[in-house]
Copies of this chain bind each other. A is one copy, B any other.
């Protein structure tokens, strides 16, 4: 007889009933070849004694095995593994060894072979990130209050059901109203698709606009995850310079003379990574070019809400009378990264197509969260939060820049950004950012090495340094460590 005492172990704390556990263990023994067709099973009395459970439980387990078609009862003989079961290959691989074989059994696209899943560097203690908000400021209590209040109402149960893939109509109306007041962008709820953060807006736009071999224009320096989404759609990236007034539209015009361009991707406020803002003159010229050459503008304005001095320029979408602009924004960044709500705005037919694609991807968003955000827009809580955090972030920007100026003037060149959550910091060429990053981490400070901002054409000894997620004391401490590291 097999050593059942060690082969069949049950977990009494599990919420799965014992007999199902026993049944499942037997099935494992059958499928891994330990028990073979027509093998006898021990009598219920013996097994019960061996593994220390009730005999009745063993009988239930055997009934279960029989009803699932793994075993059969032969009168006056006992229970046997089903004799007409196909022979299963004997395997000694345990679950944890499953992946030790280097040859995979089926093949998938290798496009992601070297990509790493998103790092979670905010969980590490002290960090100079690349421009993340301070989640400690998010009014989570208010959000929870809305959650509770909505889910307790009778109609609130509706928000637990399947909803439309375009997102909550209530939230779309609230956002339309907010965009009209804050940035002169007048659209109806039908022009809006609620997304999971701005990344989904970029992905959807890329999938709908770009086919393999199409050309899209992006900045020489650009947000890497947008580049990746365009490449994934099969497009070729054509890079155009970005200077202190944003993307150089004259260079773009030259490209347009000899190349068919499907779309242009811009980050007009606080370009990522360099934090520059696109001038109004260039915005208007870009719109003219789009009309003339019939390309789409993907305007990623994720950072609109963070502007400290002058009010921000209007989005291109607000001035666009020719429907060339797909406008992408985010509330995620303003509230809390893990609560993923953003929006994509465009002509109605485009938004309908994007909603249909979204339905294939994840069907719909989180209706309850969307509804709670809508209520917080309506009662003004959302904008109160925006204003409050803006004030705090401005103070943090000022302090951060002041320390950089006082303590790092020989090592770091930077301009005070008009908005956004990071300083674009150019390091002295003698400083090795990889070494700096690894030295700092030994002293308890996480800081990147600038690799996320670089690409095949943009190689520069610079780094985005986020100031928004650090309280004053933390900032002083973090920059103190950095100063020591840089010697």
Contact = CB atoms under 8 A, between A and B. Distances in A.
A91 B321 contact: yes
6 contacts: A15-B383, A106-B324, A112-B357, A118-B359, A196-B363, A199-B363
Nearest to A16: B181
Contact of A20 (B163, B311, B366): B311
B361 A361 contact: yes
Contacts of A88: 284, 319
Contacts of A70: 280
Nearest to A351: B117
Nearest to A381: B15
A355 interface: yes
Contacts of A31: 314, 318-319, 321
A225 B31 CA distance: 32
Given A106-B209, A160-B338, A162-B338, 17 more contacts: A14-B181, A20-B182, A24-B184, A69-B313, A88-B319, A95-B187, A109-B211, A111-B353, A116-B356, A117-B359, A144-B147, A160-B339, A225-B359, A225-B360, A338-B364, A338-B368, A340-B364
Contact of A366 (B67, B69, B369, B380): B369
A118 B366 contact: no
B164 A136 contact: no
Nearest to A196: B362
Interface string A90-101: 010111101101
Interface residues of A, number: 142
Contact of A337 (B151, B162, B337): B162
B68 A362 contact: no
A183 interface: yes
A487 interface: no
A391 to B, nearest CB: 14
B339 A366 contact: yes
Contacts of A208: 108-109, 112
Contacts of A318: 27-28, 31
Contacts of A119: 164
Contacts of A162: 118, 120, 122, 132, 337-338
Contacts of A120: 161-164
**Identical chains in the assembly:** 2
A165 B117 contact: yes
Contacts of A14: 181
A238 interface: no
Contacts of A32: 321
Nearest to A362: B196
A426 to B, nearest CB: 25
A203 interface: yes
A3 interface: no
A310 interface: yes
B118 A164 contact: yes
Interface centre among A187, A190, A337 (most CB of B within 10 A): A337
A323 interface: yes
A288 B188 CA distance: 55
Contact of A323 (B104, B203, B291, B324): B104
Contacts of A69: 279-281, 313
A349 interface: yes
A158 B16 contact: no
Nearest to A338: B367
Contacts of A211: 109
B184 A321 contact: no
Contacts of A165: 117-118
Nearest to A121: B162
A366 B364 CA distance: 13
A266 to B, nearest CB: 15
B161 A362 contact: no
Contacts of A182: 16, 20
Interface in A69-118: 69-70, 85-86, 88-89, 91, 93-96, 98-99, 101, 104-113, 115-118
Contacts of A148: 144
A104 B349 contact: yes
Contact of A184 (B28, B118, B359): B28
A21 interface: yes
Contact of A188 (B21, B93, B95, B123): B95
A199 B362 CA distance: 5
